């Protein structure tokens, strides 16, 4: 194992700056998958479980959604919520049992609600309840993407080290070009955030600036 005194942020920035680093690249048609942008994870002044990396994250996500809708490409939002007894959280919900614990994000609670700053078209966008980290696990996401014949996924949301990473791994495993706009994902601590961005960058996804995603979308005729 290689050892280093560099921070996770420094390692990520060095690898990202490598001009010879190969990319998967964008394909022909994309879907925007926004993972768990709900109050439990976005309202940093209200919930201990919330986090913020880029303060403009939700603005970027809204702007991306506008572009996708204009192209008539899929926009998907996921959230987590659980039954009163937490049984549908499975083994994942057994490590702790506090008001902040995962399985205590209950249906109809404020923690389960999407952030108020998000602009969601509930007549046009797909909204999926999920129980586990990946947006693919036991949701209709895969069949929805097949129906729309997409070959590229743009992932936003959180956390970088949890549900974004899990979704990115599943995305690549299913043959999708997977793109993570750096400004559009967040985590609780910069160490987790940048360590997982590095791992995604090296193995599972292209981690790019959100401006690069907009540039590509603008070239699609919008």
**Residue partners of 207: CB distance under 8 A and separation at least 6:** 16, 180, 182, 197, 200, 201
Q: Give the whole-angstrom CA distance, residue 139 versus residue 80.
A: 12
Q: Is 8 a member of any domain?
A: no
Q: Give the whole-angstrom CA distance, residue 160 versus residue 164.
A: 5
pTM over 0.75: yes
Q: Are 199 and 18 in contact (CB under 8 A)?
A: no
Q: Is 120 a member of any domain?
A: yes
Q: Is 193 a member of any domain?
A: yes
Sequential pLDDT tens for the chain (222 residues) = 988 899 999 999 999 999 888 999 999 999 999 999 999 999 999 999 999 999 999 999 999 999 999 999 999 999 999 999 999 999 999 999 999 999 999 999 999 999 999 999 999 999 999 999 999 999 999 999 999 999 999 999 999 999 999 999 999 999 999 999 999 999 999 999 999 999 999 999 999 999 999 999 999 975
Q: Is 156 a member of any domain?
A: yes
Q: Is 114 a member of any domain?
A: yes
Q: Give the whole-angstrom CA distance, residue 218 versus residue 222.
A: 5
Give the orientation angle of helix 190-199 with respect to helix 8-16, to 10 degrees.
30
Q: Give the whole-angstrom CA distance, residue 221 versus residue 63.
A: 16
Show the domain range for 51. Answer: 26-218
Q: Is 18 a member of any domain?
A: no
Q: Is 97 a member of any domain?
A: yes
Number of domains into which the chain is organized:
1
Q: CATH number for the domain including 102?
A: 3.40.50.850
Q: Is 3 a member of any domain?
A: no
Phi/psi region, residue 138 (left: phi>0; alpha: psi -120 to 50; beta: rest), is left
Q: Give the whole-angstrom CA distance, residue 172 versus residue 165.
A: 11
Q: Give the whole-angstrom CA distance, residue 124 versus residue 136.
A: 20
């Amino acid at each position: 194992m290689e050892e280093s005194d560099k921070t996770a942020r420094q390692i990520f920035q060095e690898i990202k700056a490598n001009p010879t680093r190969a990319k998967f690249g964008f394909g022909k048609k994309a879907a925007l998958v926004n993972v768990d942008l709900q109050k439990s994870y976005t309202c940093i002044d209200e919930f201990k479980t919330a986090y913020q990396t880029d303060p403009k994250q939700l603005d970027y996500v809204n702007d991306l959604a506008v572009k996708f809708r204009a192209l008539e490409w899929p926009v998907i939002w996921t959230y987590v919520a659980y039954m009163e007894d937490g049984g549908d959280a499975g083994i994942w919900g057994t490590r702790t049992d506090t008001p902040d614990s995962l399985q205590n994000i209950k249906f109809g609670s404020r923690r389960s609600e999407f952030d108020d700053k998000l602009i969601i078209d509930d007549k046009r966008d797909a909204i999926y309840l999920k129980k586990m980290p990946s947006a693919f696990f036991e949701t209709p996401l895969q069949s929805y993407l097949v129906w729309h014949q997409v070959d590229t996924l743009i992932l936003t949301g959180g956390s970088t080290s949890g549900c974004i990473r899990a979704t990115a791994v599943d995305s690549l495993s299913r043959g999708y070009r997977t793109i993570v706009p750096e400004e559009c994902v967040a985590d609780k601590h910069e160490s987790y955030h940048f360590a997982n961005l590095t791992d995604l960058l090296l193995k599972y996804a292209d981690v790019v600036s959100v401006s690069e995603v907009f540039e590509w979308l603008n070239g699609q005729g919008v």
